[in-house]
Amino acid sequence: MRSLGPLAAFALMLALGPSALAAAGKANSEAQQRYNQERAHCMSGESGQDRASCLREARAALQEARRNRLQTGAGVNLEANATARCNAQPAADREACVQRILGAGTTRGSVAGGGLIREVETPVK
């Protein structure tokens, strides 16, 4: 099934009234500003990623923001997202995974350096 495209979306916004059009324009403008900032960061070489990957991620975020599918800000539950990754661990290791993600133990390394190593020591009886 084909999407209706930008013209149909514009017609729908006109039917909803000026406030919907203004809100969509503001969101699109903010998304474009964010993309411009992310692109500049990629081009500066300070992103910790190779330039092509960084630019690809920035374009993908812009596209998702324009579709109103990019979650950012206070409404995003980052802790739940991080701890949900622990569900892929075997049942016996999940609690230790959650502990590490929530900051227990020690952390060393960096994302730019290739990754973070999180350790929690658990005494075994």
pLDDT in tens, 8-49: 555 555 555 555 444 455 557 888 999 999 999 999 988 888
Task: Say whether pLDDT at 101 is over 70.
Answer: yes
48 plus 88 within the same structural domain: no
Q: 45-66: per-residue pLDDT in tens? A: 888 888 999 999 999 989 888 8
Distance of CA 100 to the CA centre of its chain: 21
Distance of CA 9 to the CA centre of its chain: 25
Predicted confidence at residue 90, as pLDDT, reads: 93
68 plus 101 within the same structural domain: no
Q: Which of 124, 125, 119, 123 is nearest to 97 (CA)?
A: 119
The listed range with the strongest mean pLDDT (6-15, 64-73, 110-119) is: 110-119
**Mean pLDDT throughout 82-108?**
87
* Number of domains the chain is built from: 2
Taking residue 42's Cβ as centre, other Cβ atoms within 10 Å add up to 20
Strand ranges (DSSP E) for the chain? Answer: 106-110, 115-119
Amino acid identity at 2: R
20 plus 64 within the same structural domain: yes
58 plus 102 within the same structural domain: no
60 plus 103 within the same structural domain: no
